[in-house]
Amino acid sequence: MSKPKDPSAPAAPSLSSRRWWQTLDEVDGAPAACGDEFPDGPPLTIGMRAPATETRRDFFKLMGLSATAAMAACRRAPEQKILPFTTKPDELIPGVASWYATACGGCDAHCGLLVKTRDGRPIKVEGNPAHPVSRGAVCAVGQASLLGLYDGDRSRAPRLAGQTDSWTHVDEKVRAGLVAAREAGKAIRVVVPWGIGRTEQAALSRLAADYGDVEVVRFDTMGEREAMADAYQALTGTRLLPEFRLDDADVIVGVAADFLGTWLAPGPLARQYAAARDADVRGRMARHVQLESTLTITGAAADARHALSPSQIVPALAALVRALMDGATGPAVALARRALGVLPTSQTPSFVEALARELRAAGPRGVVLCGGDDRRAQTLAALANALLGNHETAAILATPAFTLPETTRATLHAELREGRVGALLFAGVNPLLSDPELAAALDRVPLTVSTADRLDETAVRCGIHAPEGHAMEAWLDHAPRTGVETMGQPTVAPLFDTRPRLASWLAWQEQGQGKGRGQDAFGFLQARWQREHLADAGLALQDHWDNIVREGYFVAAPADAQPIPLTADGERLAAWLAATPATPASALELVLHESVGLRDGTHANNGWLQELPDPITKLTWGNVAALAPSRARDLGLSDGDVVELATSAGKVRLPVLAQPGVAPNVVAVAVGHGRAAARAGAIAGGHGADAFPLASGQAAGARFAGVAVSLTATGTQQPLALSQTHGSQEGRELVREVALGQALAATGEALPGHGKARNGEATPAAPKERHGNGLWAEHPYPGHRWGLAVDLAKCTGCAACVVSCNAENNIPIVGELEVRRRREMHWLRIDRYYAGTADDPEVVHQPMMCQHCENAPCETVCPVLATVHSGEGLNQQIYNRCVGTRYCANNCPTKVRRFNWFDYPHGDPVQRMVLNPDVVVRSRGVMEKCSMCVQRIEEARAQANREARPLADGDIRTACQQSCPTQAITFGDLNDPASAASRLRESGRAYHILEELNVKSQIAYLARVKNRGEHG
């Protein structure tokens, strides 16, 4: 074990010279971690391999393994057939990709996507840069939703009472049930996700018209939107959701809201956040303060972070509101006074004063984002925003009004208890996963229907299962913001016998009387659009429509939503607040939170997301009970010790992880793991533990944060599948940081302690013979010289790039056991280091991919020339030449090379369809690594050639770059001084990792920038 480097170093504003603390629990050497269990053949994985490679490899094996190979080598390879279309669709050219603009189905944000299809199958998801809300951002979940399309565990047919059946029967049964409910005067309730589009609302209103007492319940698993809507109802009388716009903010205060990772619309918010904090462009940088109970990537990105237990959140917010009140005007002041009146007051936390000062200074440019399902906290946050006056500015706006008759989950529970519900329809949502109480009440409902895409916890308890398939198979529009609609068009015909939800709603209208019956989903949707948007358009309808579908979105005037007027009556507000359940303090408070990958568990069967290392814990394939390191020490627990967590609601067994940044009296557990294979799918089964049973039973109020929990050690150990086990940089200058002042000062020339990213060249782009610090003349790169610039000031570690890379490059999924053996295959990983103290850490992220070194250590040592340098500065890996000595990987200073330890088998023919046909599928025994998306480079070059024009900057965007929500990654030609990448390398913040080795990395990192505000 090494000691931290030089504790007495002066506290210069550069991470490198800050004191580094030792890693928490060095898993190295512990038998659990290095998995000495005997690997019995290839692990169960869904790694992907093209079918054709099999024969060829056997052929070569035969060749090499016996002297008869001589003969074998001369044999003709087995015959292949070509099966052309009998009648080729005109728009389809085999081998040419077509792109469709559509909407993401990954979460309720429904960002704009561009989906790349080859020969009729979607093979890649990219952000739609033109989309006004998401602006090209796609998160990890959005990227992985592609694999969800090819999830073989989705339902392949509708079910009646558990038995697969025909759609006609299903429809008859549903209609009959609905009629019965109406006749019996019972209520019909539809549980829908938040943010369902206008067309779907219209379809549901048709049902309402037909069947009388139809009300919808908007459901989100973690109850955050619900709580927020309740709060705003109390304040404004309408159940609206605020829509945040951070681009212009100066002070951003996050309260238990992981808005860069999981909260509301992480993609778009991250994009706005990056814009607000882009000092180079804005000349100033929004300051971000985060109050949270467990460490999230949002907290990691913050300039200042305060760890509070859930029970401390409301007092802190109350103190903040109180501090904001003086000097403020408007209706908010009175309301705030009433609200504070009924809330238990405690002593003001020390940091609140300074925070309030900063917020007041920012005024309308200050924003408070509050997460969690504690209505009191949500109300206070709303009041704080009102006091800042940003309800009148662009900082907070109302999301589009919801047109359907609506009721709350609490009411639904009551109705169910009273047996007033005659029909309960679940629109794809899965409440039973998190709400056992609902399950109990379900049996008394005559008609229960779920449109979930698989037989999940809810669908299995419903009489009828009408699977809705995947978002990429359906026409559906969404309204992410007032005045903006996203058009979701199908990119592939349904793989299975499923039917889009919209079609089901329409099919379930009462038959046989009057207008608009039997209309198909597309016709219905198009009709609505023509009615609402296209009627007044000057253009020819068809052109206009085609245009919208091509663009994937539509902006109706006015583009901006209404401000939020606070119209509530103080008395009623106070009464309501007093009635809402408080979050009590307890010795150990439980925080159940969504993880960046699986979110609420909807994506549990997605291998890419299961194997995606959590940006903070670096854990894959499961969840842990995260404790503050000091707390874990006191309890005598070390990583991997299995403990039993018990709340009033239930018990769960989980391994412990000492996680820096978790509040001292908090146990944080990610939900969405541990779903049964039968419910979520084969991949989800057997990994992690389901934490929902720990949620407090109450129907409303704080169910997931602040639950009193007890923790008892079981004495057993469970190895954790961590992709990174060492948290300290050991004082090595890997991730560098500069203070905001320096960053602004540095225009062009290098900052103290920052070598300019020039690899010792006279100019970065001199194509002629260059002499570096080397002994010999360097190879010239006369044409292009490709490189990347990675801005650590922008990177939030959200890992969207990692999944994007998986999808683009056919990277296999190796499974939990193999990750435990440290054999994950990711070409692009995100290194996470800690600074500061174990209980109040600072976190830095560093995307680490092949550095494409000009003096690449890996190339020199390969005996068979399987990895050599291209004429354009790329470090090429030629899989079919590789014999697998692994010498290159050993000699790689950044350890980015990945070896195929087994043939990662791919049983499932459905899943195989996700493979990118432009990238070869690697066989067992070969080395692989980041190619800087060379297939995209070649594609763009060929395109340019055909159009007889030179390649332009921006023609090529690597997979990681394209979907980065914060645009932290820039690809470009380093020989072109004007290219974005070259300009970034000229920045004073630019440096190369391990520059002292003179390997001449083609990847430049830009030092992280922190806005330490008044005390920084």
Task: Name which of 519 and 804 has its Cβ closer to another protein.
Answer: 804
Contact code string over 975-994 relative to another protein, x by CB under 8 A: -------------------x
Site for another protein in 271-300 (CB under 8 A): none
Task: Name which of 31 and 120 has its Cβ closer to another protein.
Answer: 31
Other Cβ atoms closer than 10 A to 644: 14
Task: Name which of 3 and 572 has its Cβ closer to another protein.
Answer: 3
Task: Name which of 522 and 879 has its Cβ closer to another protein.
Answer: 879
Spatial neighbors of 79 by CB under 8 A, at least 6 apart, are none
**What SS3 class is residue 39?**
coil
Task: Name which of 84 and 558 has its Cβ closer to another protein.
Answer: 84
Among the candidate windows 185-193, 366-374, 395-403, 887-895, which touches another protein by CB under 8 A? 887-895
**What SS3 class is residue 146?**
helix
Tally the C-alpha atoms within 13 A of residue 907's C-alpha that lie toward its C-beta.
10
Could you tell me the strand order of the sheet in which 969-973 lies? 969-973, 786-791, 1003-1006, 990-991
Site for another protein in 539-558 (CB under 8 A): none
Residue 905 lies near another protein (rule: CB under 8 A): no
Compute the distance between CA of residue 224 and CA of residue 704 in angstroms, rounded to an integer: 10
| Shortest Å distance, C-beta 890 to another protein | 4
Among the candidate windows 362-370, 559-567, 790-798, 884-892, which touches another protein by CB under 8 A? 884-892
Task: Name which of 272 and 728 has its Cβ closer to another protein.
Answer: 728
Compute the distance between CA of residue 242 and CA of residue 247 in angstroms, rounded to an integer: 15
Task: Name which of 348 and 885 has its Cβ closer to another protein.
Answer: 885
Which pair of tokens denotes residue 176? 């009959």
Nearest 10 degrees: CA dihedral of 725, 727, 731, 734? 90
Site for another protein in 820-839 (CB under 8 A): 821-824, 829, 831-833
Backbone CA torsion sign across 428, 601, 832, 659: positive
| Shortest Å distance, C-beta 232 to another protein | 43
Compute the distance between CA of residue 889 and CA of residue 884 in angstroms, rounded to an integer: 10
Which pair of tokens denotes residue 658? 């000492």
| Shortest Å distance, C-beta 713 to another protein | 25
Compute the distance between CA of residue 579 and CA of residue 591 in angstroms, rounded to an integer: 23
| Shortest Å distance, C-beta 618 to another protein | 9
Among 9, 21, 44, 69, binds another protein (CB under 8 A): 69
Spatial neighbors of 200 by CB under 8 A, at least 6 apart, are 192, 427, 476, 501, 502, 505
Among 778, 908, 955, 995, binds another protein (CB under 8 A): 778
Residue 865 lies near another protein (rule: CB under 8 A): yes
| Shortest Å distance, C-beta 215 to another protein | 48
Site for another protein in 641-700 (CB under 8 A): none
Contact code string over 728-767 relative to another protein, x by CB under 8 A: xxxxx-x---------------------------------
Task: Name which of 358 and 818 has its Cβ closer to another protein.
Answer: 818
| Shortest Å distance, C-beta 519 to another protein | 30
Task: Name which of 86 and 513 has its Cβ closer to another protein.
Answer: 86
Concatenate the DSSP letters of all residues of 464-484 into one string.
EE-----GGGS-EEEEEETTE
**What SS3 class is residue 809?**
coil
Site for another protein in 84-123 (CB under 8 A): 84-88, 93-96
Integer angstrom CA distances of residue 349 from 187, 238, 316, 371, 564: 48, 33, 6, 19, 30
Task: Name which of 61 and 1012 has its Cβ closer to another protein.
Answer: 61
Which pair of tokens denotes residue 669? 């557990």
Site for another protein in 385-424 (CB under 8 A): none
Among 9, 19, 21, 63, binds another protein (CB under 8 A): 63
Task: Name which of 366 and 815 has its Cβ closer to another protein.
Answer: 815
Residue 771 lies near another protein (rule: CB under 8 A): no
Among 869, 940, 951, 980, binds another protein (CB under 8 A): 869
Site for another protein in 482-541 (CB under 8 A): none
Tell whether omega for the bond before 31 is within 30 degrees of 0, i.e. cis. Answer: no
Compute the distance between CA of residue 126 and CA of residue 116 in angstroms, rounded to an integer: 8
Q: Among all chains, which residue has been given the structure tokens 């189905």?
A: 105
Residue 163 lies near another protein (rule: CB under 8 A): no
Q: Could you tell me how many residues of this chain bind another protein (CB under 8 A)?
A: 142
Site for another protein in 427-486 (CB under 8 A): none
Site for another protein in 921-980 (CB under 8 A): 923-927, 931, 934-935, 938, 942, 945-948
Compute the distance between CA of residue 441 and CA of residue 750 in angstroms, rounded to an integer: 66
Among 316, 323, 793, 848, binds another protein (CB under 8 A): 848
**What SS3 class is residue 219?**
strand
Which contiguous run of DSSP H or E holds residue 225? helix 224-236
Task: Name which of 378 and 923 has its Cβ closer to another protein.
Answer: 923
Contact code string over 703-732 relative to another protein, x by CB under 8 A: ---------------------xxxxxxxxx
Spatial neighbors of 622 by CB under 8 A, at least 6 apart, are 673, 674, 687, 688, 689, 720, 721, 816
Compute the distance between CA of residue 568 and CA of residue 872 in angstroms, rounded to an integer: 65
Residue 237 lies near another protein (rule: CB under 8 A): no
Among the candidate windows 239-247, 265-273, 560-568, 853-861, which touches another protein by CB under 8 A? 853-861
Residue 326 lies near another protein (rule: CB under 8 A): no
Task: Name which of 572 and 949 has its Cβ closer to another protein.
Answer: 949
Nearest 10 degrees: CA dihedral of 244, 249, 255, 256? 60
Among 902, 940, 951, 955, binds another protein (CB under 8 A): 902
Residue 883 lies near another protein (rule: CB under 8 A): yes
| Shortest Å distance, C-beta 94 to another protein | 5
| Shortest Å distance, C-beta 7 to another protein | 15
Closest C-alpha among 347, 262, 273, 357 to residue 312 = 347
Integer angstrom CA distances of residue 947 from 96, 940, 944, 951: 16, 11, 5, 10
Site for another protein in 3-62 (CB under 8 A): 5, 23, 26-31, 33-36, 38-39, 41-43, 50, 52-53, 56, 60-62
Q: In this structure, are residues 461 and 467 in contact, taking their beta carbons and an 8 Å threshold?
A: no
Compute the distance between CA of residue 810 and CA of residue 813 in angstroms, rounded to an integer: 9
Among 8, 81, 514, 536, binds another protein (CB under 8 A): 81
Residue 894 lies near another protein (rule: CB under 8 A): yes
Task: Name which of 221 and 804 has its Cβ closer to another protein.
Answer: 804
Site for another protein in 184-223 (CB under 8 A): none
Task: Name which of 318 and 882 has its Cβ closer to another protein.
Answer: 882
Among 114, 383, 689, 858, binds another protein (CB under 8 A): 858
Q: In this structure, are residues 753 and 14 in contact, taking their beta carbons and an 8 Å threshold?
A: yes
Q: In this structure, are residues 467 and 528 in contact, taking their beta carbons and an 8 Å threshold?
A: no
Compute the distance between CA of residue 103 and CA of residue 96 in angstroms, rounded to an integer: 22
| Shortest Å distance, C-beta 877 to another protein | 9
- Which residues share a beta bridge with 425? 190, 449
Q: In this structure, are residues 202 and 527 in contact, taking their beta carbons and an 8 Å threshold?
A: no
Compute the distance between CA of residue 545 and CA of residue 46 in angstroms, rounded to an integer: 40
| Shortest Å distance, C-beta 814 to another protein | 9
Closest C-alpha among 898, 900, 935 to residue 915 = 935
